Amino acid sequence: MYLIITCRPHPEASEVIVTGEFDGWAGLTHLPRKGSVFEGTVKVPWGQKIQYKYIVDGNWTTTDDQPTEYDHRGILNNIYTSPESP
């Protein structure tokens, strides 16, 4: 299962990275700019919920247009739950 990640940061943002449980929070997925958004794809196993965040110009952040929840340390992250395998 693949999740298409779209981030609409401040128009002057120059770099957006998405990171989360899918990469061990290593910050490996740089999102290319596509017009006014940054967009990329990450692989998420079927039926799994992941937590993730964006790093916009070096600042860790969540986005308001996607669900969020707090992790076990009280840190707010975006979440995504992939569907069960067909």
Rounded-to-integer distance, Cα 64 and Cα 73, Å: 20
Q: Identify whether 8 is part of a domain.
A: yes
Q: 73 or 9: whose pLDDT is higher?
A: 73
Show the domain range for 17. 1-41
Q: Identify whether 9 is part of a domain.
A: yes
Q: Identify whether 47 is part of a domain.
A: no
Q: Identify whether 68 is part of a domain.
A: no
Q: Identify whether 69 is part of a domain.
A: no
Number of domains in the chain: 1
Residue 5's pLDDT is 72
Q: How does residue 2 score in pLDDT terms, banded at 50, 70 and 90?
A: low
Task: Say yes or no to pLDDT of 1 above 70.
Answer: no
Task: Say yes or no to pLDDT of 23 above 90.
Answer: yes
Residue-wise pLDDT for 35-73, tens only, equals 888 888 888 888 999 999 999 999 999 988 899 999 999
How would DSSP label each residue in 5-44?
EEE---TT---EEEEEGGGTT---EEEPEETTEEEEEEE-
Q: Identify whether 20 is part of a domain.
A: yes
Q: Identify whether 71 is part of a domain.
A: no
